[in-house]
Structure formats: structure tokens, C-alpha cells
Amino acid sequence: MVGTTHESLHRIFQKDPGLLTKALQKVLGVEFPEPREIAAMNVDLTEIEPVERRVDTLLRAETEEKTYLLVVESQGKTDDRKRGSWPYYLAYLHEKYRCEPVLIVITQSSATAKWASRPIQLGFPGWESLIVRPLVLGPDNVPMIADEGEAVADPSLAVLSAMTHGKGRNAAAILESVAAALKTLDSDSAAAFAQFVDSCLADSRAKQMWRDLMTDIQYFWRHPLAEQVREEGREEGRAEAKAETVLQILEWRGIPVSLSVRERVTACTELDRLEVWARRALQVADSAELFVEE
């Protein structure tokens, strides 16, 4: 289910777009040119047909030579449906904006990182029509910053480190270093980054440790970005759960569900529409009849 961790893992790059360039260059070793300008873009890739498709974060990076579209996907677990969605996203964006798209996947899981880094090859074996090679940021390549001096020197990278590594025996040193780094930032940035870290800490002891460290900037819990992240996570989570209900009803009734129907249901984020489909799922004889009036 989509939640605050999923939202925070990609929204940090909306808060600090330069961090993504830094991650490409320093963490992944990609010779990505330094952008003159980098800006957030509309993440909605919906077509005229009522099939909603969204990327998590989309940034436009202007360099001296060309413009790139940086597609950031937050991935909590393996999901083979993405091996169809990601090539679609890239092809659609290239056609729409005539810019080179770059896919970056961020995860807290080593297993998910290994899965996501596998090339996606579409076409005849040995003569593929399309090959997608995601760039992956995860616990195996994002540096673990547990030194206060290093954290203060690069607060945003220290925050990314805490979001990726904030558990286990090194949690205390990592979180204490980030807390020191946030004190060097303006209050708005410190509040937003503090919320990102909090949202990504799954370990209850680490989360309590972080909240104890944040007692001197307690107001960050009321920061507008914090509430936005929480609300969007709740809304997407409810939609995902309702979509699963629609599919489960069809499966319980023995109604075959085609790939196109499954993708359309799981891509929908409108709770009212999903509620209509759930009621129809109790009566239809064919899964395509869910959308008969649309």
C-alpha cells in the first residue's frame, strides 16, 4: 500500500532537485552534465482514454547540450507490472516532450534494488526493439553518512542516507549526524527534511530516537509539506486498497481478469469511480463490463 515512506522517497527530490543530480554523479557514477536549471513537471501521463498513469516525480534538467527528463520512481517491493509501465512512461515522455528521459528508481530494499536494476528487454531475443536500463538508488550504493562533519558538509545527501539506512546498529550515529546537519539549514528546509526522514523510518526505536532528536524543532510536524505527504499517502493507500477489492471480487466470482482490465483498475486513483466498479464487480459476467458506461 502506498504511504508516507513511498511519498517521501521521491518527494525529497522535488524539495531539492539538485540532490538528484548529485546522486547520479556521486552515488551511481553517471557522467551526467551539470544542469543550468532543473524544475519539477506535471507527473500526470494520462491519455485521452480514461486510463490514468502517473510517475512519482518528474523533473526537467536543462544542461549546456540538451534537456533531460528525470523520472523518479519510489519502489517498496518487486512488481513485475512495472516492467511494462516503465518503458511506456519513457516512450510517452520522449514523444510528448522530445527530450531524453532517464529512469531513476529509489528503494530501501536491497532485494528490490537488485530486481529493479535488471534491464527490461522487449522484442525478439537477440534483436530487442526496446531496452530499458533503470538507474537504481538503494542501501547498497547510497553512502551511509554517520559522521557529523560529513553530514553538515552535505545535508541533503545526509538526509537521503538516513532515509535509506536509518535502521540497525548504525541508526543512532546516522540520525544524530543528520540532526546536526539540519540545524545549519533554514527552518523551512529543516522541517521538510525532518519529515522525510521520519516518514522513512520503519523501525519504531529509530523513529522514537529521531523524534527525541527533533524536540528543538517540534513545529515540523505541522509543516504544510508534512501534512501534504501524509494526506496524499493516505489517499493513494485507500485507492489502492479499493482497487484490490474490485479485483478480488471478480476473482472470488470466477470472472477472468484480462491484463488491460487489471492495469486500468490498479491505475485508477479516484475512490468514487472505484466504488462504482466494486458494485459492478458483484454483477458483471465479463470483467470488461466494469467500464461499460465509460
Decide if 220 contacts 15 (C-beta within 8 A). Answer: no
Q: Residue 228: which pLDDT band, with cuts at 50, 70 and 90?
A: low
Element at 67 (helix H, strand E):
strand 67-74
Task: Note the pLDDT of residue 52.
Answer: 52
Q: Is the pLDDT at 209 greater than 60, yes or no?
A: yes
Average pLDDT on 147-159 reads 93
Q: Which three cell numbers stand for residue 14?
A: 522535488
Which of 2-6, 7-11, 118-122 is predicted with the least confidence, judged by mean pLDDT?
2-6
Q: Which three cell numbers stand for residue 268?
A: 485508477
CA distance 30 to 100: 15
Which of 17-26, 75-84, 213-222, 275-284 is predicted with the least confidence, judged by mean pLDDT?
213-222
Task: Note the pLDDT of residue 219.
Answer: 44
Query: What would the pLDDT profile of 66-92 be if each residue is shown by its tens digit?
Result: 999 999 998 988 988 888 899 999 999
Task: Note the pLDDT of residue 166.
Answer: 74
Distance of CA 35 to the CA centre of its chain: 22
Got the DSSP string for 36-63?
Answer: SEEEE---B---SSS---B-SEEEEEE-
Task: Note the pLDDT of residue 224.
Answer: 54
What does the buried/exposed string (b/e) look like for 212-250 if buried means 16 or more CB atoms within 10 Å of the residue's CB?
ebbeebeebeebebbeebbebbeebeebbebbebbbebb
Task: Note the pLDDT of residue 168.
Answer: 67
Grouping H, G, I as helix, E, B as strand and the rest as coil, residue 131 is: strand
Task: Note the pLDDT of residue 141.
Answer: 93
Task: Note the pLDDT of residue 271.
Answer: 82
What percent of the chain clears pLDDT 70, i.e. is strictly above it? 86
Q: Residue 218: which pLDDT band, with cuts at 50, 70 and 90?
A: low
Task: Note the pLDDT of residue 105.
Answer: 94
Q: Is the pLDDT at 196 greater than 90, yes or no?
A: no
Q: Which amino acid is at 106?
A: I
Task: Note the pLDDT of residue 282.
Answer: 80
Q: Is the pLDDT at 284 greater than 90, yes or no?
A: no
Task: Note the pLDDT of residue 189.
Answer: 83
CA distance 35 to 139: 26
Task: Note the pLDDT of residue 29.
Answer: 85
Q: Is the pLDDT at 1 greater than 50, yes or no?
A: no
Average pLDDT, the chain: 82
